[in-house]
Structure 1
């Protein structure tokens, strides 16, 4: 292996940290590992930076500074952690995955005026728009897309040139990595206040780190699961399945205990202010969770409240839910219709934008309100509430009534 020109490499890091001081702590947390088994530079998920001596010799200091920032961006944006959440097929194709991640990073670096070596990829190379996450780029890349391997710190799959396992020299722990991300995000915010703007991708990343957005799908799924478990909490005796102790008692049949699945009613606001994309996403999430916990078929009733006549009609699929334009909606009608059904539901889930009157008092059924859109008016305190951000463009919000 050729000797590594450490002076040149570290001068490039010094330049990168000086020009982008908000990245300094992250850059200086990387441990240099010289190796001729990488084509350029790469990082593992433990914050070790593998460097090719021949690449350093052939690359200018300004371009090396850009590569330093590129590699640390993979780690700051937790690309390997996000890659672990992908389907197995996407995760196995690490070359394409690496290209998508490079597209997410490089459009910001180019917009920030950084020099990058020849061969770097940007979204425009594939006819894609800038400013997206790698998860959005990945499905649109051709199967042949490839780039220099940035290591397990990017795509998550360790290369044969990486130090095996955790605990090696220069390792940054998971806790330390999270602290570095937060410190960097705070430095970016201070930079914006004092000196100027950041590239859009870095700005969004810093906001997400400092003010993380709670995934409404997880919150809604948790609320539905907990409510179903609560409604199914009651047990009863049944002779349909005799107790196992019956065999020990001649001539006596003992009942067994059963925990019945609850009936669930989903009440949908179909007024003109509701966006179809938002409604479909929330309804699909609710019905998917119910299927997971074993509630399906005739144990789910979907009631669509018409905005004009304030009637409630039963539907059996999301495709049958028609969004109507026009006047106000009173979701009390739908809730009352759900509670008046022959088999009273244990859980009532209301999908609405929140611009509706609510019942004056709680009932024996659990009531969950999934409020779709921005800044919906709050329901009464006894209603369990999950906020669902607007997904699609949707129609304009109706005025307060």
Structure 2
């Protein structure tokens, strides 16, 4: 164990707590024993970094009973098993800056499972009811309900992704785990949880749900959506046409003849957002998040992206660089055909149209010379016609 403290760490007590945690919850044993211990006076309690190193305050160990220390061991390893730092990296850029609120939301996700499992935790713990929130959610769903805070809470970069002041560099201290090793350990733990459920059937719902999602992952719709738009944009950019605005260099060899040159058009993307009454606040939040993702992932800027807010009529048309520039209006019936037709009738006809909707809309029979991508929001949206490229988007409650 590397030591960054002048005080003496009661290693026997700390390791006895880990042994108790691993004995009581054997499906977590491999993950618990994979953590390298780094004593430090700078960490208030315990925290983890991305490399599976656990930083421990000697004073906190002295003041905390073994039963509660065992709970803290499980809490910290849960941050890493649930890949909280990786999921934080996938949050919208506007949400990534407040590490404290992210950490609180992550603690809500973990602690309601630990308390349901009757695991003792120190006083002052954070749980969903601390903020009047329901149990059983993921931290991404809790985050909007966490108000600005001033209290001190920092579980380290293994939780919220930002290096804490007491953390060692990647090359210093214990080696920790690589990304590949960490992912293998997560799968091993998920399989142990599933085996425990089969043999005894008693386990907190949060752990069971986590294991099922890891072992039977759904498609990463964020990557699929960005990939579909990127492919469509590349398809549009690959088109060529002749123009006389820039004469061909071969014209110099032919007196009195002006030859056109080939040009490669810059693709235009139009996003049609469903603002009908069936789209709730959560669905609209997901839609705005995905517009931001499309702008960032595809790399289109300036006036290359136009956003239409549409229910059964088009209410606003905006050329945007960021999602903050989008104005949403509507709330009536649903007919995305109106928005698609309006997009295609614009002076600068788009090459790609992305429709963000819950799917409860009629669709056009077909669109010539344009790629149409339907990004369907919600748990069970109806499918559009087969010729429409389709990406299914999770609601804000889903990872």
Residue 109 of structure 1 pairs with residue 114 of structure 2: yes
Residue 146 of structure 1 pairs with residue 155 of structure 2: no
2:128 is aligned to 123
SS of the residue aligned with 1:28? helix
1:231 is aligned to 236
1:27-176 counterparts in 2 under 5 A?
Answer: 27-85=32-90, 94-139=99-144, 140-147=146-153, 149-166=154-171, 168-176=173-181
SS of the residue aligned with 1:198? coil
In terms of mean alpha carbon deviation, does 334-343 or 316-325 score higher? Answer: 334-343
Cα offset, 1:146, TM superposition: 1.9
Structure with bigger gyration radius: 1
Cα offset, 1:218, TM superposition: 3.8
Cα offset, 1:66, TM superposition: 0.7
1:324 is aligned to 333
Cα offset, 1:198, TM superposition: 2.8
* Equivalent pair of 1:99/1:145 in contact (CA under 8 Å): no
Cα offset, 1:197, TM superposition: 3.4
2:3 is aligned to none
C-alpha distance after superposition, 1:144-199 (max 9, x if no partner): 1223x433322333344333223642411111111111111222222222212333
In terms of mean alpha carbon deviation, does 55-64 or 12-21 score higher? Answer: 55-64
Pick closer, same or farther for the CA change 1:80–1:254 going to 2, 3 Å: same
RMSD: 4.4
In terms of mean alpha carbon deviation, does 212-221 or 183-192 score higher? Answer: 212-221
* Equivalent pair of 2:36/2:54 in contact (CA under 8 Å): yes
Cα offset, 1:78, TM superposition: 2.0
- Please give the alpha-carbon distance, in whole angstroms, between the structure 2 residues aligned to 1:86 and 1:165: 23
* Equivalent pair of 2:43/2:166 in contact (CA under 8 Å): yes
1:198-347 counterparts in 2 under 5 A?
Answer: 198-242=203-247, 255-261=260-266, 274-275=278-279, 280=284, 284=288, 289=294, 293=300, 316-317=316-317, 319=328, 323-324=332-333, 346-347=351-352
Pick closer, same or farther for the CA change 1:154–1:268 going to 2, 3 Å: closer
1:332-371 counterparts in 2 under 5 A?
Answer: 346-347=351-352, 353=359, 359=365, 364-371=369-376
C-alpha distance after superposition, 1:4-37 (max 9, x if no partner): 3333222211111111111111001112223334
* Equivalent pair of 1:238/1:258 in contact (CA under 8 Å): yes
Pick closer, same or farther for the CA change 1:386–1:38 going to 2, 3 Å: closer
C-alpha distance after superposition, 1:107-138 (max 9, x if no partner): 22122111112333333334444334334444
SS of the residue aligned with 1:42? strand
In terms of mean alpha carbon deviation, does 152-161 or 74-83 score higher? Answer: 152-161
Pick closer, same or farther for the CA change 1:202–1:141 going to 2, 3 Å: farther
* Equivalent pair of 1:219/1:386 in contact (CA under 8 Å): yes
- Please give the alpha-carbon distance, in whole angstroms, between the structure 1 residues aligned to 2:276 and 2:161: 46
* Equivalent pair of 2:85/2:159 in contact (CA under 8 Å): yes
- Please give the alpha-carbon distance, in whole angstroms, between the structure 2 residues aligned to 1:70 and 1:386: 35
1:24 is aligned to 29
* Equivalent pair of 1:362/1:382 in contact (CA under 8 Å): no
- Please give the alpha-carbon distance, in whole angstroms, between the structure 2 residues aligned to 1:241 and 1:321: 44
| Structure 1: unaligned runs, 5 residues or longer | 307-312, 393-401
* Equivalent pair of 2:358/2:381 in contact (CA under 8 Å): no
1:385 is aligned to 390
- Please give the alpha-carbon distance, in whole angstroms, between the structure 2 residues aligned to 1:279 and 1:161: 40
In terms of mean alpha carbon deviation, does 160-169 or 243-252 score higher? Answer: 243-252
1:395 is aligned to none
| Structure 2: unaligned runs, 5 residues or longer | 1-5, 318-326
SS of the residue aligned with 2:51? coil
Cα offset, 1:341, TM superposition: 9.4
- Please give the alpha-carbon distance, in whole angstroms, between the structure 1 residues aligned to 2:197 and 2:52: 26
Cα offset, 1:71, TM superposition: 1.3
Cα offset, 1:262, TM superposition: 5.4
TM-score by length of 1: 0.73
Pick closer, same or farther for the CA change 1:203–1:242 going to 2, 3 Å: same
Which of the residues 192, 199, 203 maps onto 1:194?
Answer: 199
How many residues align? The count is: 378
Pick closer, same or farther for the CA change 1:283–1:315 going to 2, 3 Å: farther
* Equivalent pair of 1:354/1:371 in contact (CA under 8 Å): no
SS of the residue aligned with 1:36? coil
